[in-house]
């Protein structure tokens, strides 16, 4: 069996700019939109893994979130690119 190649760098499959509707009165990303970004990034990851709509239908497999915890480490502001 062949060993998998080592990972280098980080996996970047989803990018978005912070939209005006997503920020609060301080110009910071609202807490609920962190979860939206994680959800959209999970959809992109699922597509990379072959779990897009067709893949889920063919295999009967999927991913779903059971629980989520947010830790605010750094500000995210209007227009900022996130990945």
pTM: 0.79
- Enumerate the domain spans of the chain: 27-82
Compute the average pLDDT of residues 9-25.
92
Beta bridge partners of 82: 16
pLDDT at 1: 58
Q: What is the pLDDT of residues 27-47, one digit of tens each?
A: 999 999 999 999 999 999 999
pLDDT at residue 7 above 80? no
Better-scored residue on pLDDT, 81 or 65: 81
Averaged pLDDT, 49-55? 91
Q: Is residue 6 predicted with pLDDT exceeding 80?
A: no
Q: Left if phi > 0, otherwise alpha if psi is -120 to 50, otherwise beta: which for 6?
A: beta
Is the distance from CB of 52 to CB of 61 less than 8 angstroms?
no
Q: d(Cα 51, Cα 71) in Å, to the nearest integer?
A: 28
């Amino acid at each position: 069996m062949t060993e998998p190649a080592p990972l280098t760098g980080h996996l970047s499959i989803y990018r978005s700019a912070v939209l005006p509707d997503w920020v609060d009165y301080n110009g910071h990303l609202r807490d609920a939109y962190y979860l939206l970004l994680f959800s959209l990034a999970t959809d992109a990851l699922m597509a990379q893994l072959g779990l897009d709509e067709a893949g889920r239908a063919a295999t009967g497999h999927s991913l779903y979130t059971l629980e989520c915890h947010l830790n605010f480490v750094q500000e995210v502001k209007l227009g900022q690119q996130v990945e």
